[in-house]
Amino acid sequence: MYNINIIQVNILIFFYICIYKKMDLPNEIVLQIVDYISDTKTFLNLRILSKKYYEYFNEVKIFEGNKLVYKIRVNNNEKIIIRENNLLGLLPGSPDYIREVYIINRHGNFTYNKFKNDPLGLLSGSPDKLIEEIIYDPPYKLKFREINEDSKTYKDCDLSQATSEFSKYIIPSNFNCCIS
């Protein structure tokens, strides 16, 4: 009838007993226990057990079919949604690994960043290379940035006046020094 994972029910009971008996678990043990959770409902139930666990689990993991789809991190002023393409079986070190970050501000500002893995940090100086960015500043500003291997594209729009500025910069690929 019901598809209930016994391990996840035992985890909830264990945390509830720890709260009732006023036991303070070390963070290392809590992290080990949380690794066994593969259900969104169990994760949300852990958050409502106490104020301590609500703050401790501020990054909510959303699962579909026992696979992690994305994470939601909630702060006082913004909501951050992180989506990684680990559904395809790609590891964070592979060159085709893509991570998308959505940041929604409570004032209506919205930012979308798309990162591609650059394992050696050759293109951007860090392991994650920003390849696309969209920024919406209400009520009328919209900015789009796209960064490729050989060019950068910027487009700024003012929705109140129906104007847009477009600029494209080409990055030289075989850069040889002219000074000898």
Residues 70, 4 within the same domain = no
Asked whether residue 110 is assigned to any structural domain, the reply reads yes
Asked whether residue 107 is assigned to any structural domain, the reply reads yes
Total domain count, the chain: 2
pLDDT digits (tens, 9 = 90+) for 11-42: 777 776 776 666 777 777 777 877 778 888 88
The predicted model scores a pTM of: 0.66
Residues 138, 73 within the same domain = yes
Cβ neighbors of 23 (< 8 A, separation 6 or more) are 17
Residues 30, 76 within the same domain = no
From CA 76, how far away is CA 80, in angstroms rounded?
11
Torsion, Cα 116 121 125 129, to 10 degrees, reads: 0
From CA 159, how far away is CA 37, in angstroms rounded?
45
Asked whether residue 117 is assigned to any structural domain, the reply reads yes
pLDDT of residue 2 exceeding 50 = no
Residues 2, 70 within the same domain = no
pLDDT digits (tens, 9 = 90+) for 89-145: 555 556 667 788 888 888 888 899 888 876 555 545 556 778 889 888 888 788 888
Residues 47, 77 within the same domain = no
Domain that holds residue 153: 62-171
Residues 120, 160 within the same domain = yes
Place 46 in a pLDDT band, splitting at 50, 70 and 90.
Answer: confident
Residues 72, 134 within the same domain = yes
pLDDT of residue 6 exceeding 70 = no
- 8 A C-beta contact, residue 124 and residue 109: no
pLDDT digits (tens, 9 = 90+) for 47-100: 887 787 788 788 888 888 877 888 888 777 788 888 876 545 555 556 667 788
Residues 96, 36 within the same domain = no
